[in-house]
Amino acid sequence: MSEIPNVESPLSHMKEPPVYSCQTSAERIVTDPIPNPKIPDPALQSQSLGGTAAPGGTGSPGDSAAGRSSGDTIVGRVVVERGLATPDEVDKCRELLKRLPPGSRLSDILIQKEVITRRQFARVQRELESARPQQAIPGYQIKGKLGAGAMAEVFLAKQLSLDRLVAIKILPQKFSNDPKFIERFYKEGRAAAKLNDQHIVGALDVGQAGERHYFVMEYVDGETVHDRILRKRRIAEKESIQIVIQVAKALKHAHQMGFIHRDIKPKNIMINKAEVVKLADLGLARALSDLKEAEAEAGKAFGTPYYISPEQAKGKTDIGPAADIYGLGATFYHMVTGKVPFEGKTSTEVMQRQIRDPLVPPDHVVAELSSGVALIIEMMMAKDPRDRYQSAAQLLEDLESSYDDHDPIHARPSHSLVSSLANSSTQDDSSPTAVRQFEGATSSIPWKMLFIGGLLLVSLLGNLLFFLLRH
């Protein structure tokens, strides 16, 4: 059995920003904790920070609607995060707000509809005010905190020179004098700056103001795939394909530029109001050519257990684009089934299952799922990287073909899956861990089984004919 390398204890539960990761890769072995296993859907336990704001996330805050949107976005998220309102209550109040004249505020509607009290809103205001960084960042006006994590805080800000909203990630002061943390913080910014694709959150600036190190990025006004799964429970097949197509385009660009992401998961996939998908958080991104860093990370399992590839879970050094395809496949699986591919009570248990357990086919979880999409997901999540799609471009061809209701071009049963089938002849076919035989993959059906089936059919017909002749 393959062993999990030494893994640091999972991070404690914490409130995460809805669309921006606040962690850097510094000493981050497991990026998300394993939630309470007693709750049915373990990957959905992080609390949602509420609905989305009005359109125009990159628009001008000088416009009354856009300016109102930025403040209301933060208020809506905070009242949900603090348990003062549900996402549905906030969304209903936002709908009412759209019909009111400029100058109206979400807080007024929340109070008027008795969702929150004036005293509760005053407390929220004080909290938002205290959350502003004490040290100003030249050229930016901080509007409020979007979220905070163990390794960074993210703020919504107005870029004064261009009069637009941006997101600013700030390295906490306790790390501001640690050269290792500072270098990795800037490394994320430099990696993002080298990638220029509409489906990747854009990097705008990195710098230092006093003792504060900051990273300015594009502000995406919307939700994450994680938020959407929380809201819908399961995302429709066509909608899921469209999302995954856009992420695959982002990966195609990143891989062509020589970078692997290494942490593809629902929380790092953002969707704006126009349904444009953007890949976020390059905190674990690594240049394929950086062999020195690869060797330094040997034996460490960087990633998120529910979506980590087997080779990452083993702490291997030769991590390539196939690891990102696996993570996207695990995310795709979660989207269309409403369940993570592998569950467990600890990070180690989940990663062991990623390494050794056969995948429950997604169309065994959701019967109405098309066989083409199921086949694509299973190829994306093959245990052996050589059995997966060899490029994001290949994957895109199959996704687009499947979206148009055609059969996949490249998807085929992996060697590891076929081997699992051959070794599971004594396993009950109804078992949820049984690996299905792919529709249309006749080469994976042993010819001996077909021959024996034919003999049985001939025998049955012969017995039936004998019975009829006697009577």
Query: Which are the catalytic amino acids?
Result: 263
Q: Please name the residues in contact with 99: beta carbons below 8 A apart, sequence gap of 6 or more.
A: none
Interatomic CA distance for residues 304 and 327, integer angstroms: 9
Amino acid code (one letter) for 183 = E
Count Cβ atoms below 10 Å from residue 452 Cβ, excluding itself: 11
H-type alpha helices, 220-290:
225-232, 237-256
Interatomic CA distance for residues 413 and 444, integer angstroms: 8
Interatomic CA distance for residues 352 and 28, integer angstroms: 19
CA 298 to chain CA centroid, Å, is: 24
Judge whether 300 and 351 are in contact, CB under 8 Å: no
Helix axes 237-256, 321-337, angle to 10 degrees: 170
Nearest to 80 by CA among 120, 32, 29: 120
393: left (phi over 0), alpha (psi -120 to 50) or beta: alpha
Residues in the chain: 471
Interatomic CA distance for residues 293 and 300, integer angstroms: 12
Nearest to 191 by CA among 63, 92, 290, 91: 290
Judge whether 16 and 22 are in contact, CB under 8 Å: yes
**Token pair of 466 as six digits:** 């004998």
Rounded to 5°, the CA angle 193-219-150 comes to 80
CA 403 to chain CA centroid, Å, is: 21
Half-sphere CA count of 462, side-chain side, radius 13 A:
6
Strands in 277-279's sheet, in edge-to-edge order, are: 222-224, 269-272, 277-279
